[in-house]
Structure 1
Amino acid sequence: MEFLLDYGLFLAKILTFASTVIIIFAIIKNAGGKEGQKGKLTITNLTDKHKDLIHAIESHLYDDAVLKVRNKKEKKANKAKAQEVKAEAKKITDLTKLVSSRNPHLFVVDFKGSIDAREVTALREEITAVLAVIKEGDEVMVRLESSGGMMHAYGLASSQLDRIKQAGILLTISIDKVAASGGYMMACVADRIIAAPFAIVGSIGIIAQLPNFNKLLKKYNIEFEQLTAGEFKRTLTMFGENTDKARDKFISELEETHVLLKNFIAVHRPSLNLEKVATGEHWFGNQALPLGLIDSIGTSDDYLMSAIKEKNVLGIRYVERKKLTQQLADSAAEATDRLLLKWISLGQRPIV
């Protein structure tokens, strides 16, 4: 028994020491970053990544002699192509025409939205970077995953996507899992919406729910005071006694917000029958297609595999530089978001 106690104490000391070292290194790493640098844009050549994947698999399918001949021919073809591009570039005297003579590109951006859509900070940087170099013939694809959240936050996220449309660039939204409510508000901005067969789409409605502890407080003789200036500065409250007048006002605000959402969607998808789909219901991809909520069935992987044959595909990601405290706070906020979304969707989505 004494041995187990000694061993437990020793193990606790080791864990404490290891945790301290990790925290110190994390603090040094955060402090050692460049002053004023808020984040970094990372670019991944998905076309090259796809080719590397093929070569890696082919190395197990063919003999070394075959691969050696293939690689030699590929190298020769790439060299000839590079010389051809160089020769064509020399003929162009106008710098603007020279820059715009490149091959079409597909820029891929990911957006996995939280309740407050805080990911819009990275999204705006990614879109700004893409718009700085984009040209006619290019395309932007956003792999979107969001169950929605705050109206004003998703309004901003939708406006960021609309910047691409305003620039006259084709915008494709791919939904592999879910784009509901605020998520669909973002998706509807696109020229083309692709969804997986069982992706959740729609939920064009507004929801607000909160518990009221007024009766519980009264039971324990606890008084709650709330002072406001303005008749409707606060309507429903968690601790005060809610009145029918306040409740009616809150409902009218929900209805007004719903109208704003429907009007926004109507602008971007005018052929959609909003009386039929703006009921707060959600649909799976196969059901959403005949309703006009999406344009085709497919996954983002299928779309990228097809695009790689015709365009150079680049993944664009902005990584925000955060202090350790902010990283911990974001992790806690993300966990809270997941819990809230699960609670809100209880009984609303069937489980397989």
Structure 2
Amino acid sequence: MRAPYASDPGHSRGRITPEDESAWRPAFQRDRDRIIHSSAFRRLKHKTQVFVAHEGDFYRTRLTHSIEVAQVARTLARVLGLDTELAEAVALAHDLGHPPFGHVGEDALERLMAPHGGFDHNAQAVRIVTRLERHYAEFDGLNLTWETLEGIAKHNGPVAVAPWALEDYTAVQDLELHTHAGPEAQAAAVADDIAYNHHDLHDGLRAGLFVEADLMELPVVGPALREVDARWPGLEAPRRRHEALRRVFGAMVEDVIATARARLDTAAPQSVAEVRALDHPVVAFSPGMVADLAQIRDFLFHRMYRAPQVMEMRARARVVVEGLFATYVARPELLPPEWRPAAACDATARARVVCDYVSGMTDRFAIEDHARLTA
């Protein structure tokens, strides 16, 4: 049953280029489908989550992460009476703007683009779905609904200072960056947190960066391991790990559902506009879970994200991204033919074109292209 504060595809604010809507697919489902069929979504298969995408088939990539986020977002939306297809669309699109090599690539481009308006992966995702995907006859981008674009732009909360890519688009269509997003986008944002907290623990264990014994004193994780040990003493290691981490996953989901229900009961919004107008998100972790997850993230920061082999990868990735950017800014004639006309302009415009090109690369392509240019 749809809640009164849920987004309604039948009353969407529409698309910037008017289209006849599908007779059998609601507007937000059509958004989701266009995202799935986009080139940028396919490229997520070869983009880093934490480990470089080609270092092992087991580890999460941006694509598998996005699918996991969409599954959680859909569950949260269904339980809370929200539009599941809008939540799923935002979840599937939320990482489209990530450059190669994950956060190290983003950090590098943020530094390089500082004189030219900066770089932010959420803003870049909006740029991709409104400008850079060029497949349709009538428009650039995917011509998504206002609600999906709003969710991509500000699922993490109001945007105080818009990066240039977002500012560029909002000059054409106001996404009301000063407010919270609708509840479906909020569900996608917290689903992102749930997914990466779960799978970073799993990938770190798989990579041998730590073992289960190291996790026994962590909140949520330690109790989950002890519960599994009490129920299945001597369970073989892979099953023990899986059973414990699925309980961690479940604990996070249940915490969000309970917290969201309590906040919605208190606020009693009667429309999605009333949700946006609140000074806090309604779909969120409880304060207790936030504190517990902070301890888990601190552990992962020291034992995983700053592990020597991960830091070595980060250093190599930084060299690749910085080298590609510098080369193409200095010699735009080396860009593919379809990118060259846009690069034949002033320094800032050229840097932005190069940023668009480099940020769209997969890990593998970036490594190969850098090797080719520096051979």
Which is richer in strand?
1
Per the shorter chain, which TM-score range? Answer: under 0.3
Q: Which has the higher helix share?
A: 2
> Highest Rg: 1 or 2?
1
Under a length normalisation based on structure 1, what TM-score does the superposition of the two structures give? 0.23
